[in-house]
Every structure is written in C-alpha cells, then in structure tokens.
Amino acid sequence: MSVLSRREATSLVQRTTTQEKILDAAVTLLDSGGAFAEITVGAIAEQASVSRPTFYAYFRDKRDLVLALGDRFEREAHQAADDWLSLRADDLEAALVGVLESFRAQQGALKAITEAAGYDSEVAAFWRAFHERFIVGVAGRARREDPSRAEQELQAEAFALVWMTERCFTEHLEAPRVSDDALIRALVRLWHSTF
C-alpha cells in the first residue's frame, strides 16, 4: 500500500469517527431533555469536543445533521425487521421487539426526527419515506403469503399497520402506559388480525 493510500484510509477513518462523535453529541443533548430546535450548533460542537467550523465541515446545518441521524436510525430499524419482512423468519413478535429496541436505542434521533418533521419539509419527506420502505416491505410480505388479495387492500392495511406501530412505539418510549410485553402482545394481535 502506498503512503498516499494509507493517508487516505486514515483520513476516512478519522472523518467517520468525527462525524459519529458529532451525531452522538447531538443525541446526548437530546437524551438530556432538550428539544431539537433549541439545541444550538455551538452546544453540539462543544459536546462533541469539536469547533463550530468542524461541525460545518461535516454538516451543512442542523437539517443535514437530523437527516444523518435519520439514516443511522433507519438502518437499525430496518435491520431489526428485515428477516420478517423478507420471509426469512416467521416470528412477528421477535421482529416487533427488535424494532422497539432499535427505537429505544435511537430514541434521541427519533425525537429529533419527529420534532423536525413537523416544521421542516425535507425532514418530513424523509420521515414519510422511512415509513414507505416499511409499508412496501409489509405489503410485499402479505402479497407473497396470499397472492389473491387485492392490491388496494394490501396497501391500505400495510399503511395503517406501519404508521400505527411507529406511533405506538414512539409514544410508548416517551410516556409509557403499559409494559413493553403488553404493548408487543397487543400489536401482534392487531397485526395477526390482518396478516
């Protein structure tokens, strides 16, 4: 490996590490109770032990940051559901538990995304696309299980189930009324009444 190649590899690792540090700093501030709109770039940079110019070297603005948090959140959530969605596994309960745990692990990012989606059209578009990828997966699984079902019916049920599940998980993590187990059992019953 040439010296230049080693430098490029080291630079990429450092860049990724710094970017993750900034994302983690934002999540730490969100987890401490701050609203995303109230958290400043300066506070994020300070929490990450980087300068404001360094923040801007990685992110154009806070929207760019929340979208990066969203990408990280989406990867984890989809990974938790992928085996069930692709028919590699039949355990709906395990898939829902995995998705709930991914929501819990990324609760700060979830909080920022849901907040910013209310006032930023680009974040709102990301959030709808996040759900759409699950809707496509759920409708696809249902179609493979029962090819005779009407497409409109599949799409409507997938839409309702995905949005219902996300809202249940998001609200449950913010202000729980029941145990995780009770919520999962209720969702499994609702999902099985359709699929």
pLDDT band per the 50, 70, 90 thresholds, residue 195: confident
pLDDT digits (tens, 9 = 90+) for 43-102: 999 999 999 999 999 999 999 999 999 999 999 999 999 989 887 878 999 999 999 999
Mean pLDDT of 111-127: 97
Q: Quick one: residue 87, left, alpha or beta (phi over 0 = left, psi -120 to 50 = alpha)?
A: left
Domains of the chain listed by start with CATH number: 1-59 (1.10.10.60), 62-195 (1.10.357.10)
Please give the model's pTM, rounded to 2 decimal places: 0.87
C-alpha distances in Å from residue 164, one per residue of 24, 48, 92, 160, 169: 28, 35, 15, 6, 9
- What is the three-class DSSP state of 156? helix
Mean pLDDT of 115-136: 97
Mean pLDDT of 176-187: 98
In single-letter form, the type of residue at position 195 comes to F
